[in-house]
Structure formats: C-alpha cells, structure tokens
Amino acid sequence: MLSSDDLLFFGTITASASLADAARQLNVSPPAVTQRLKAIEQRIGVRLIDRSMRGLVLTDEGELVAAEGAAIIDAIERLDDRLERRSTSVRGKLRIAAPYGFGRDYVGPVVGEFARLHPEATVTLELSDHPATLSSDSWDLVIHIGALNTVGRIVTTLAPNHRIACASPSYIAEHPSIIEPDDLQQHRCLALRENNEDVTLWRFTKAKCDPATVRIKPVMATNDGAVMRNWALAGLGVIVRSEWDLAGDIAAGRLVRILPDWQCPDADVVALLGARHGRSRRATVFLELMRASLHPVPWREAGRGT
Amino acid sequence: MLSSDDLLFFGTITASASLADAARQLNVSPPAVTQRLKAIEQRIGVRLIDRSMRGLVLTDEGELVAAEGAAIIDAIERLDDRLERRSTSVRGKLRIAAPYGFGRDYVGPVVGEFARLHPEATVTLELSDHPATLSSDSWDLVIHIGALNTVGRIVTTLAPNHRIACASPSYIAEHPSIIEPDDLQQHRCLALRENNEDVTLWRFTKAKCDPATVRIKPVMATNDGAVMRNWALAGLGVIVRSEWDLAGDIAAGRLVRILPDWQCPDADVVALLGARHGRSRRATVFLELMRASLHPVPWREAGRGT
DNA sequence: TATTCAATTAAGGTTGAAATTAATGCTATC
DNA sequence: GATAGCATTAATTTCAACCTTAATTGAATA
C-alpha cells in the first residue's frame, strides 16, 4: 500500500525539473531518489515517471498518483491543522518571508522571541527582495510593506506606516530649501523602482490643502531599498521611504525629514496569510507577538514621552 | 505530520475494545500499542483517547482523527486499487472466505494454483461456517452456496449447482423404496438447519409435473454440513444436499441418489464481491481461475465421457 | 484476599527503510 | 574530443521507528 510518505516524496519529484533537482530539494543524494522511486514503482507494479533526457514525463499512472496524492496529502495537512488549532500548545513549523531591511530589523527579533516562548515550534525566516511575489503556498506568512493587490489573498495589517520624504543634513544644507512639494522638481530625487510601478509620481497630502502631485525627475533609480538609503545617507538626493526603514537614521540625525507637514500615501506593514497554514495557531500567535512588538510605534512613543 | 501509518494504526485501535485487544489485532505486544499511541499524541500535542477501565473513549479530537483518518485511508486504498487495475501483473493481498466443505475441496486447490501462477500476490483463505454473514469489508471475495439476500451486494455465479436427495445404500436397502416425494414423509429425514431458514419444507420439481412440497419430520438436525453428511453415510437417513458436496460420495457409491427425476431448488455456487477490493485485478483473475476449475462440472463430465 | 487483566513505564534489542559512497553509461554542450 | 550534469547500479552503512521483555500499578472479580 502506498504511504503518505511515498505520496509526499512523489509530490516533491513532480514539482522538480529532474530527479537530481528533486534530490537537492529533499537534501539527499541523487541515488536515494532513484532508488526510492524505483522501489515505489516496483511495489505498485506501475511505472510512474518516464525518465528521459531533459526533464521528467509523468506516465498516465504518474499523473493519477500526483493528483490523488496531492489531494490526500492536502487532507492530511488539513487534519493536522485542525488538530493543531485545538492543541493548547504552540507547535509545528512556521515559515515566514519578509523584506530585507524590515525583516532584519523588526521581524528577526520577534522570531527569536517567538522561538524562545514556544520551544516546540520551529521557525524559518527568509528575507527576500519582493516577498509578496513569492508563491504563497510555500509560506505561512509573508510580511510586506505598502500597497498590494489583495485579490485572492488574506491580508492583515500589522502596523501603520507612513512614508516620508528625507534627505541628509549635508544635502539640505547645500541645496535650496523645500517648502512646497513642487519645489522637489528642482531637486535631485532618488526613485525606488519596484514591481514596475510608476515611481516618478510622488503624491503629497496636507490637512486643509489640495493633494499635490509631483512628477519628479529621478537622477538615480534602483530596485533595492538599501542602496537607495545609502545614496540618501551620502547626500545624493531626496528619497521617499517608509518610516520603519528610516527610523534609525532619523533618530540619529543621519537623515532629516523634509516637508514635515505633508504626508505621502501610507504603506502599512501587512502580513499575507498563506492559504494553508496561515491561520494556524502558531501563525496567529506569531502575528500577535509581531503586532505587540510594533506597537506602540517606537519613535512616536519616544517623541511623546518626556 | 500524521502519516498514513499513524492513521491506519489509530483506525485499528478505534475498532478495538481495548488497547490490549488492539495489540492482539496488530499482532504486537500491549506496550507497543501504548507507546505508539502515546508518541502520536505527543507529536500532535492532543490527547486522542481517554483510557479508562472497561473500554476506550475517544476524545473529540480522537473522533476527528478517526473520521478523517478513515476517509484518508480510504482515498489511499482507492488510489491503490486504481493503480492495481492498471498494472499488468497480478499482485496485492487477496482475502477469500468460503464454507468449510466446499472451501476445502474446491477453493483450496484453486488458491494453490493462483499462488503458483502469481507469485507477487498473497492469498488468505478462511473457511467458516457461514461466510455470507461475515462483514463484507474484511473480505475481497466470499464464496457461498445457495440462495442469498443479494441486497446491497455484488454477486457473480461461479457454477451451477443442483441439490439432490441422497441416502446410503444400506439405508435404501432397509427401507421402503421412494418413488414419489410424498413417500419421504415415511422416511427418516435429516435436516441442515442454517440461517434460521425453514428447512423442514423440501420442494421438488419434475418436468411436466406440478411442484411437490413435502413437510418432512426431521429425525435429526444440525447446522453442520459435515455432520449431516456423516449421518447419511452411516445410513441414518435421507438428506438433501448440493451436488458439489456429495459428488465424491456418489461417485464412490457411498451414497445413492433417490428421486433422480425430481429436482430440488438450485443452490448455485456464487461469489460475493467485497465493496472495496472485490473488483481488483487479482480478484477478477482468481474468479476466472475458479470458474475454470469448476467447469466443466467434474462428475457430469465423467458421466458424459466414455 | 487472592487473582486476573488492562495499561503503563523503563530498558534494551532488531531490522529494514533509506541514506551514503563509488563507479558507470549517457546525452548535450562547449 | 572534452566536459559537465543526469540517471542508474551496486555495495555498505546508518539510524530511528518499532519491537520486546520485565516489572509496576490499579481496578474488577471470584
């Protein structure tokens, strides 16, 4: 009889380009995959995969096993989830994806705290350029900053986040002062080009004023937030970035906010819940911990205090 | 994550009266069951069974696992079946139940032949008093002789089978001759009492005659065919039994057919196909073999020959 | 009260599935 | 032709799941 392990194993193979690739995914040597697959085929008396050069081809039976097997594994995982949700303790594997900067500074410590509080759970934190574009099936939680196409996704907000315009003190000293958004057109603006969005259009709003839209002329553009921040720190221009990413620099005086009365469109910190395990107990607990760590917002609290 | 083995194991437990009973079913020692169950509960972090004196009580989670687990195991078995049916070879486990006499004389040899032809298959033949009353889920094939309530069952006929009236030569010599069915009322009749049927009413039909019904007065009755046969061999009376069971005795002259022109209601040899595996390739192949071995009907062929 | 049976804990022991290493044939690509 | 990556076979090795025996506890029963 086929076991769930067999089905899991076969599922990994079908998701791979080759047996060698599957071996890498499974962290075993190639012969292990060949042997085990052969053993399964021998046991059920049917060839499942035609191995040819350049890629694997499932036989009809292989397709059957892949489809039915996936459904069976899915049923087991759902059962696991239902049990896990009834469990009093937090356990299981939690896989989190987050953007580089925010992930390192804010998610990492919370993961540590989570692991300390719940020793029976295991956590994986993967930092990535654009986590929101990752296949949601591989992750329980994907943390993301900014607007997002939420169609078909389950999203929860972790913390408010404003975007602000900044420049280094040296830049401000050496360039004309900025009173109105329109003044930016005379300045060296640095654009963060992500997801093919139109980043040369900066919007500002201010209480009791009409919104202002400025078409900037980016002197430099990058798709990496850290690079852009370094440019700003080096006094190369004005950037618009989220508070969370700049908090440290502003507190330390390395960057200075400009147009402090004007606000950019918000880019809240949100978490995308994976369809499968995103609503498990461990995920819920982690999100609570994450919210608690982001609230109160550190620098605002500091400003309010004293 | 729960494995299919876990679910199979847990399913066996839920079908048992106690852990010790489950251990017997699984052919392992009691501690093995305790330990493995404990390991599973620990892994998923939920108690599944409340062990109390006198019987097991499933927790809510236990009910959940039992129900979902059964469905998952079922899905795997269906997948296995579909694969097995596509396989070119005959393999897997075949479980057959048959009545004692017929099973020993006719099914046993065919099972031997089957095992010889298909070394990759394993066969279990269990002989039982009344196999048709067994839970059909435990058997791939149940072989049965005689009329049967076929509601909700899948039945296929293996061989025709007439029932005939017999007595030993010594009995016939010492008692009045029997010309008409009604004459039986004066004879010592032996009844086979099975399944609470009314066995004291013997029916006979003859070409171009009205059916005859005789209410016999059984001098002895039993629920065991072999016992009744021995009584008849000992000259203790007249019996009505199926040809297959008496073929050897009649051929050897130990029993003599009476009322040869009259026929009793048929009691064909049929096979009940188990809902689950009864239509697997191995079952089909076995049935073919069984039919071939029962056809031509041995003694009729012998009679025809020469 | 003595006995029996179920359940459990503790402490090894088995074994077989699945891994590894090493070596070979094969194809595609440089 | 040389190189590199994939698939495979063969021969060991490893390791963890699972088992066993032995001993203890506790409840039910004769």
Mean pLDDT, consecutive 10-residue stretches, chain A (306 aa), reads 94 91 92 94 89 80 93 93 82 86 89 88 83 70 83 86 91 89 87 73 84 85 84 91 87 91 86 80 90 76 44
Residues with CB under 7 A from strand D: A 18-21, 30-31, 34-35, 37-38, 51, 56; B 5, 26-29, 31-32, 35-36, 39, 53-54
Is the Cβ pair A4, B87 closer than 8 Å?
no
Nearest amino-acid residue to C22, taking CA and C1' = A31
Both structure tokens of B151: 């509601």
Is the Cβ pair A45, B83 closer than 8 Å?
yes
Domain boundaries, chain B: 4-85, 89-161+268-301, 163-258
Q: Is B303's pLDDT higher than 60?
A: no
Contacts of A80 in chain B (CB under 8 A): 1-2, 44
Q: How close A192 comes to chain B (CA, Å)?
A: 42
What's the confidence (pLDDT) of residue A55? 75
What's the Å distance between residue B45 CA and nucleotide C8 C1'? 19
Both structure tokens of A30: 């190639």
What's the confidence (pLDDT) of residue A10? 95
Contacts of B76 in chain A (CB under 8 A): 1-2, 4, 7, 72
Question: Is the C-beta of residue B43 closer than 7 Å to nucleic acid chain C?
Answer: no
Instruction: Please name the amino acid found at residue B228.
Output: M
Name the fold adopted by B163-258. D-Maltodextrin-Binding Protein; domain 2 (3.40.190)
How far apart, in whole angstroms, are the C-alpha atoms of residue B58 and residue B49?
4
Residue range B89-161+268-301 forms a domain whose CATH class is alpha beta
Task: For B12-36, write each residue's pLDDT tens digit.
Answer: 999 998 888 999 989 999 999 999 9
Q: Which nucleotide is nearest to B21 (CA to C1')?
A: C6
Band (B120; pLDDT cuts 50, 70, 90): confident
- Decide if B89 touches A, using CB distance below 8 A: yes
Q: How close A73 comes to chain B (CA, Å)?
A: 9
Q: Which of B4, B88, B89 sits opposite A4 (nearest CB)?
A: B4
Share of chain B above pLDDT 90, in %: 31
Question: Is the C-beta of residue A29 closer than 7 Å to nucleic acid chain C?
Answer: yes
Contacts of B91 in chain A (CB under 8 A): 45
How far apart, in whole angstroms, are the C-alpha atoms of residue B208 and residue A28?
80
What's the confidence (pLDDT) of residue A136? 59
Q: What Rg value do the Cα atoms of chain A yield, rounded?
A: 25
Contacts of A83 in chain B (CB under 8 A): 2, 44-46, 61, 64-65
- Decide if A86 touches B, using CB distance below 8 A: yes
Bases of chain C within 7 A of a CB of the protein: 5-11, 18-23, 27-28
Is the Cβ pair B83, A76 closer than 8 Å?
no
CB B77 within 8 A of CB B137: no
- Decide if B75 touches A, using CB distance below 8 A: yes
How far apart, in whole angstroms, are the C-alpha atoms of residue A166 and residue A258?
5
The mean pLDDT value for B41-62 works out to: 86
The CATH number of the domain covering residues in A90-161+268-304: 3.40.190.10
What's the Å distance between residue B28 CA and nucleotide D19 C1'? 8
CB A214 within 8 A of CB A183: no
Length of chain B: 306
Contacts of A78 in chain B (CB under 8 A): 68
Q: How close A34 comes to chain B (CA, Å)?
A: 20
Q: Is B163 left (phi over 0), alpha (psi -120 to 50) or beta?
A: beta
**Greater pLDDT, B246 or A149:** B246
> Please, is B160 exposed, middle or buried when counting C-beta atoms within 10 Å of its C-beta (0-12, 13-18, 19+)?
middle
Q: CA distances (Å), B111 to each of A40, B45, B143, B160, B234, in order?
A: 27, 46, 13, 20, 32
Contacts of A45 in chain B (CB under 8 A): 83-84, 87-89, 91, 120
**Residue B92: Cβ within 10 Å count:** 24
Task: For B180-219, write each residue's pLDDT tens digit.
Answer: 888 888 889 898 876 666 678 888 888 888 888 888 888 8
Q: How many helices (H) and strands (E) does chain B have?
A: 11, 14
- Report the residue of chain A nearest B90, measured CA to CA: A45
What's the Å distance between residue B54 CA and nucleotide D28 C1'? 9
Instruction: Please name the amino acid found at residue B99.
Output: P
**Greater pLDDT, A209 or B141:** B141
Question: Is the C-beta of residue B42 closer than 7 Å to nucleic acid chain C?
Answer: no
Task: For A19-77, write each residue's pLDDT tens digit.
Answer: 999 999 999 999 999 999 999 998 888 899 988 766 788 999 999 999 999 999 999 99
Q: Dmax over Cα atoms in chain B, in whole Å?
A: 80
Helix ranges (DSSP H) in A56-214: 60-86, 100-102, 108-117, 169-174
- Decide if B120 touches A, using CB distance below 8 A: yes
DSSP helix/strand/coil, B159: strand
Is the Cβ pair A45, B77 closer than 8 Å?
no
What's the Å distance between residue A6 CA and nucleotide D14 C1'? 21
Q: CA distances (Å), A269 to each of A201, A224, A243, A277, in order?
A: 22, 18, 11, 20
Bases of chain D within 7 A of a CB of the protein: 5-11, 18-23, 27-28
Helix ranges (DSSP H) in chain A: 4-14, 19-26, 30-44, 60-86, 100-102, 108-117, 169-174, 225-233, 243-251, 281-294, 298-304
Q: Which nucleotide is nearest to A50 (CA to C1')?
A: D7
Same fold, A90-161+268-304 and A163-258: yes
- Decide if B41 touches A, using CB distance below 8 A: no
The CATH number of the domain covering residues in A4-85: 1.10.10.10
- Report the residue of chain A nearest B71, measured CA to CA: A75
Test mutation, A9, A86, A280, chain B, max B CBs within 10 A? A86
CB B202 within 8 A of CB B240: yes
- Decide if B29 touches A, using CB distance below 8 A: no
Contacts of A120 in chain B (CB under 8 A): 45
Choose among A268, A240, A291, A271: nearest CA to A147. Answer: A268
Q: Which nucleotide is nearest to B27 (CA to C1')?
A: D19
